[in-house]
Amino acid sequence: MKKYIKLAMIYAVAAMVGGVFYREFTKWNNFSENTMLGKVHTHLFVLGMIVFLLVAIFARLTAVEKEKPFRCFMITYNIGLPLTVALMVARGVTEVKGIALSRGLDAAISGIAGIGHLLIGVGIITLLIALKRAGKKETQAV
């Protein structure tokens, strides 16, 4: 359970850093429009901190950690979320700086961010499968 609380704390700190970076970077560059940087803070808080706080609770209440899909969740989710956030930052910085991207680079950023989102989705699905299996075993044991 401690490792999930630690992960939640790491994602919470990253969310705060992302929020401060968004505010200060846009202010320094006199940028007042919407940018992808504004979504980094929320993504990290919700998909990082809150998800791992919930995982910590479920790990405490069930044997979800013993389920095979849970390992898949931990790997794919913790690759997918940082990957997605990194590409969101890259996209946001180019928006704020007004950097014109080639069609190929623009597609690459979108594509890699899409892969990150897919990994997050796979992670969520495998977490739900692991929770379902842990719940089934617990009701059979009662």
Helices 68-97, 103-141: axis angle to 10 degrees equals 150
Record the pTM. 0.91
- C-beta separation of 52 from 11 below 8 A: yes
Whole-angstrom distance, CA of residue 71 vs CA of residue 43: 22
The verdict on residue 142 lying in a domain is no
Q: Which residue has the tokens 């095979």?
A: 68
Residue 67 lies in a domain: yes
Indicate whether 139 belongs to any domain: no
Confidence band, pLDDT 50/70/90 cuts, at residue 9: very high
Question: Per-residue pLDDT tens for 91-139?
Answer: 999 999 999 999 999 999 999 999 999 999 999 999 999 999 998 877 7
Of residues 11 and 135, the one with the higher pLDDT is 11
Domain encompassing residue 25? 2-133
Could you give the CA distance from residue 99 to residue 93 in angstroms, rounded to a whole number? 8
Q: Note whether residue 84 is domain-resident.
A: yes
Residue at 140 is within a domain: no
* 4 close to 55: Cβ distance less than 8 angstroms: yes
Whether 111 is covered by a domain: the verdict is yes
The count of structural domains within the chain is 1
